């Protein structure tokens, strides 16, 4: 905290100073080293803040893919139902403020500065009590700030997305009434394990005994892992809830949804991807389960029709068509390609791709259809964890992509500019491989 204004004076520290203080903490997302997974830092920090996470009920969301969309959908539906709702997501696309929202609106700079100031005071007390080993991480500070802000606001419910895994994630310092699992695929193997079973075990850690579990994972072979956590009620896909129709429509999907409490026909979801309809079914089930009654058809139809999912199969340009998607693992990449084939006409495709160093570039490129793309433009996402553009290009060569069709650039902005320059008006530009890449591309295109 050296060099910063006194933290005991409200409003005495500007948001820039506090973000600099935040960034001085260990941050796994930025390539930092984080000590062994534990809740032993976040719990005492929250205790010093007055245990804000106990001031409201929580809906907790985990899964390999679809967590952010599902979290935001649950929040959007409950806000439409008239509740005061806080939502906590990660990572952000363009601004850190996106990580916490109230009634679909991201936290303002002054409110974020105040919450970080309060957490900084609590951190100083924690370090005085327990020493340097108790120093929280970047994500733990953001989680504490989010939980405290929701308490300050007096929300009636919070919806929190797990950052990584579940069992040891900082968000799991709160006890959820409703736990949501979207799906289980291979990702983050260096932290969660290399099999779907070990990953499922980590994700099952958010389920508290007696809580309601909305289980979106379709593989019954994994369900026992979640049931071992002793949920009070389990809602399963295609048994208790699911999709009765899921068809492409102009700008999104036309869907019919069944929940344990109702059926809803002729709904319009203005986001692309068959998998997003599945997320909507999970979210509607979770929202209704929490509220304890079915929602009116008009409420659901209006809420879904007004929902937006930035960076998820998002169309941001035409002639050429420009699509941004945060697919960052093989399952997500395969879903992206399936959606492109189903919902968009065939066209010469320029793939702008970048990824994190822990990813297998060849596996990701194959899943993204790099061998069929007219051009592959590689670049590093703006993160210390980025895989160099040249390494991604080499993986493309190894897959058999003609080197004449591959170019590498040092920044996302350069890569996007090149893609726009070489793609004709009838073509497609698809940006994928990392949410950090998509966020930077979105800012560049804006």
3-state secondary structure of 83: coil
How far apart are the C-alpha atoms of 158 and 53, rounded to whole Å? 9
CB atoms within 10 A of CB 241: 23
Question: CA-CA distance, 386 to 234, in Å (whole number)?
Answer: 39
pLDDT at site 3: 37
Better-scored residue on pLDDT, 440 or 186: 440
Residue-by-residue DSSP string for 363-414 = HHHHHTTGGG-SEEEE---SSTTBPPHHHHHHHHHHHT--GGGEEE-SSHHH
Closest CA relative to residue 289, chosen from 53, 63, 57, 87: 57
Confidence category of residue 13, pLDDT binned at 50, 70, 90: low
Rounded to the nearest angstrom, the gap between the alpha carbon of residue 300 and the centroid of all alpha carbons in its chain is 23
- Residue 5 confidence class, pLDDT cut points 50, 70, 90: very low
Q: 53, 174 in Cβ contact below 8 A?
A: yes
Angstrom distance (rounded) from CA 236 to CA 370: 35
For the segment 120-131, what is each residue's pLDDT rounded down to a tens digit? 999 999 999 999
> Residues with Cβ < 8 Å from 272, sequence gap 6 or more?
251, 252, 253, 313, 315, 339, 343
237-260 mean pLDDT: 97
How much is the average pLDDT of 420-439?
97
Task: Give the total residue count for the chain.
Answer: 446
Is residue 185 very low, low, confident or very high in pLDDT (cuts 50, 70, 90)? confident
Res. 329: pLDDT tops 70: yes
- pLDDT tens-place string over residues 119-176: 999 999 999 999 999 999 999 999 999 999 999 999 999 999 999 889 999 999 999 9
**Separation CA 324–CA 309 (nearest Å):** 11
Q: Where does the pLDDT of residue 353 fall: very low under 50, low under 70, confident under 90, or very high at 90 and above?
A: very high
Q: Which two tokens stand for residue 84?
A: 């005061």
Half-sphere exposure of 160 (CA within 13 A, CB side): 33
């Amino acid at each position: 905290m050296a060099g910063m204004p006194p933290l005991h004076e409200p409003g005495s520290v500007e948001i820039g100073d506090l973000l600099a203080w935040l960034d001085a903490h260990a941050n796994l997302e930025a390539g930092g080293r984080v000590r062994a997974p534990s809740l032993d830092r976040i719990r005492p920090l929250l205790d010093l803040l007055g245990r804000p996470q106990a001031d409201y009920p929580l809906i907790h969301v985990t899964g390999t893919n679809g967590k952010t969309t599902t979290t935001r959908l649950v929040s959007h539906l409950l806000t439409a139902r008239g509740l005061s709702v806080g939502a906590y997501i990660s990572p952000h696309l363009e601004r850190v403020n996106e990580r916490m929202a109230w009634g679909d609106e991201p936290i303002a700079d002054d409110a974020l500065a105040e919450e970080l100031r309060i957490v900084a005071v609590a951190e100083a007390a924690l370090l005085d009590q327990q020493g340097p080993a108790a120093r929280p991480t970047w994500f733990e500070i953001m989680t504490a700030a989010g939980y405290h802000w929701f308490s300050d606001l007096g929300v009636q419910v919070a919806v929190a997305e797990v950052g990584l895994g579940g069992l040891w994630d900082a968000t799991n310092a709160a006890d959820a009434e409703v736990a949501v699992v979207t799906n289980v695929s291979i990702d983050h193997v260096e932290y969660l394990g290399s099999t779907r079973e070990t990953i499922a075990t980590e994700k099952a850690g958010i389920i508290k005994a007696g809580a309601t579990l909305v289980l979106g994972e379709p593989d019954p072979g994994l369900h026992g892992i979640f049931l071992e956590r002793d949920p009070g009620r389990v809602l399963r896909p295609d048994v208790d809830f699911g999709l009765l129709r899921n068809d492409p429509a102009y700008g999104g999907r036309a869907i019919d949804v069944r929940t344990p409490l109702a059926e809803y026909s002729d709904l319009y979801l203005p986001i692309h991807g068959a998998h997003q309809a599945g997320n909507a079914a999970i979210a509607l089930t979770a929202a209704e389960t929490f509220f304890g009654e079915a929602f009116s058809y008009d409420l659901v139809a209006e809420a879904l029709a007004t929902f937006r999912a930035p960076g998820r199969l998002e169309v941001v340009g035409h002639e050429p068509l420009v699509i941004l998607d945060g697919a960052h693992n093989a399952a997500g990449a395969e879903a992206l390609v399936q959606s492109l084939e189903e919902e968009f006409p065939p066209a010469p495709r320029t793939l702008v791709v970048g990824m994190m160093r822990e990813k297998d570039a060849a596996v990701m490129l194959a899943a993204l259809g790099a061998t069929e793309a007219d051009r592959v433009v590689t670049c590093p996402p703006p993160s210390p964890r980025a895989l160099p553009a040249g390494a991604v290009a080499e993986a493309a060569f190894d897959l058999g992509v003609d080197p004449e069709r591959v170019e590498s650039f040092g920044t996302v902005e350069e890569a996007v500019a090149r893609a726009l320059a070489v793609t004709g008006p009838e073509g497609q530009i698809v940006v994928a491989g990392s949410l950090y890449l998509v966020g930077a591309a979105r800012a560049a295109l804006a």
